Each structure stands twice: as C-alpha cells, then as structure tokens.
Amino acid sequence: MVFIHEWSACYSFWEYLWYLHETQIFFLVTTIGFTINSTKLYPLPINQQTD
C-alpha cells in the first residue's frame, strides 16, 4: 500500500509538471500570436517613418 501511494504521488507530480509545460507552451503561443497581430494591425512608428 505504501508503494502504491508513493507511485501515485510521483505520477501526480509528473502530471503537474506536464500541466505546467502545457500552459507555458499555450502562453508562449498566444503571446507570439498577439505580438504578430498587433504589429500587423498597428505598425511601429519606425516603419511608418521609413515609408
């Protein structure tokens, strides 16, 4: 019973790490997507000056 309890705790720990990994990728993708969309909608003043 102790072995099973330790195994489940280790499994939940890896599941928690995987959850952090997934949320970091989701946050990274949304940040990159938002940055690309904002640069397309609102060009930088430097780009406007060069035009």
Q: What are 6's two structure tokens?
A: 């330790």
pLDDT of residue 34: 85
Query: Does the pTM of the predicted model rise above 0.85?
Result: no
Query: For residue 1, is pLDDT > 60?
Result: no
What are the distances in angstroms from CA 30 to CA 17, 26, 40, 42? 20, 6, 15, 17
| Residue pLDDT, tens place only, 18-38 | 888 888 888 888 888 888 877
